[in-house]
């Protein structure tokens, strides 16, 4: 009987702790936010993105290609391998 009460009390305590937790809001200064660009074509990657530095699988159907531009910034292009198309937005990571 005491064991059931202890288990019930622990479960209730965990519920209270879980409810009282809040996700803290992290504000990112505007100068630190990365930018997205619209890609010019859906069936090829523009040569202006520079040299291909690497490819990383991102789930069962996607891959991300990392290019290095001439100004050393990184461009991340997402490819849907099932449908065979390039996503319409690319992530641009500037380097200083």
- The ranges assigned to domains in the chain are 29-93
Alpha carbon of residue 14 to chain centroid: 31
Share of the chain above pLDDT 70, in %: 90
User: Which tokens hold the place of 35?
Assistant: 């930018």
**pLDDT greater than 80 at residue 29:** no
Instruction: Provide the pLDDT for residue 56.
Output: 93
* 3-class DSSP assignment, residue 22: coil
For 56-66, the pLDDT digits (tens) are 998 889 999 99
- How many CB atoms are closer than 10 A to CB 81? 13
pLDDT-derived band at 95 (thresholds 50, 70, 90) equals confident
């Amino acid at each position: 009987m005491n064991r059931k009460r202890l288990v019930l009390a622990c479960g209730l305590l965990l519920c209270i702790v879980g409810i009282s937790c809040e996700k803290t809001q992290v504000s990112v200064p505007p100068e630190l936010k990365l930018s997205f660009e619209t890609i010019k074509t859906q069936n090829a990657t523009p040569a202006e993105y520079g040299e291909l530095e690497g490819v990383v699988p991102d789930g069962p159907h996607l891959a991300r290609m990392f290019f290095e531009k001439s100004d050393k910034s990184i461009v991340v292009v997402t490819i849907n391998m099932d449908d065979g198309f390039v996503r319409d937005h690319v992530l641009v990571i500037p380097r200083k």
